[in-house]
Amino acid sequence: MLVSIEDITCGYGSRPVLKNLSMTIAPGEFVAVVGPNGSGKSTLVKAVSGTLKPSAGRILLEGKDLNQLRRRDVAQVMAVLSQETAVDFDFTVEEVVMMGRIPYQRRFSAATPEDRRVVEQAMAMTGTDGLRSRLITALSGGERQRVLLARALAQEPRLLILDEPTSHLDIAHQIDLLDLIRRLNGEGLTVMAVLHDLNLAAQYAHRMVMIKDGRICVEGTPAEVVTEAVVGAVYGSRVRVVPHPEEQSPHVILLSGNAARRLPED
Partner 1 sequence: MAEHLRKRHLELAPGAQAGGLQLSRSTRGRRAGIIALLALVLAVVIAAGIGSVQIPADEVMRIILSRVPGITVDRTWPQAHETILLSVRLPRVLMGALVGMALAVAGCAYQGLFKNPLADPYILGVSAGSGLGAALVIAGLGSLPVTFLGAVPAGAFAGGILTMLVVYSLAAHGSRVSTVSLLLSGVAVGSICSSLISLVVYFTDSASRDAIVFWMMGGLSGANWPKVAWLLPYLGVGAGILLFYGKELNALLMGEEQAQHLGVEVERVKKIVLLGGTLLTAGAVAFSGTIGFVGMLVPHLVRILIGPDHRYLLPVSGLVGGVVLVTADALARSLLAAVEIPVGLVMAVVGGPFFLWLLRRRMIPQDR
Please report, as ranges, the residues that interact with partner 1 according to CB under 8 A: 46, 49-51, 70-76, 78-80, 82, 85, 87-92, 94-96, 98-100, 102-103, 105, 107-108, 132-135, 137-138, 151, 155
CA torsion, points 86, 90, 92, 96, in degrees to nearest 10? Answer: -50
84: nearest Cα among 33, 146, 38 = 146
| Shortest spacing between CB 90 and partner 1, in angstroms | 5
- For partner 1, the closer CB: 6 or 95: 95
CA dihedral 229, 161, 56, 216 (to 10 degrees): 10
Dihedral sign of CA atoms 217, 219, 222, 228 in order: negative
Pick the closer one to partner 1 by CB: 192 or 210.
192
Q: What's the closest the beta carbon of residue 13 comes to partner 1, in angstroms?
A: 10
Give dist(CA 3, CA 177) in Å, integer.
24
Closest CB to partner 1 among residues 152, 202: 152
Find the shortest distance in angstroms from Cβ 264 to partner 1: 42
- Minimum gap (Å) between residue 263 Cβ and partner 1: 40
- Residue 266 CB, shortest distance to partner 1, in Å, is 45
Q: Return the number of the residue (131 or 216) whose C-beta is nearest partner 1.
A: 131
Comparing CB distances to partner 1, the nearer of 73 and 197 is: 73
From residue 212, alpha-carbon distances to 220, 225, 242, 253 in Å are 15, 13, 23, 21
**Pairing between strand 64-65 and 56-61?**
antiparallel
Smallest gap from Cβ 82 to partner 1, in A, equals 7
DSSP string, 94-111: HHHHHGGGGGGPPTTPPP
Nearer to partner 1, 95 or 228 (CB): 95
Cα 40 to Cα 266: distance, rounded to the nearest angstrom: 32
The answer to whether residues 75 and 61 touch, using CB atoms and an 8 Å cutoff, is no
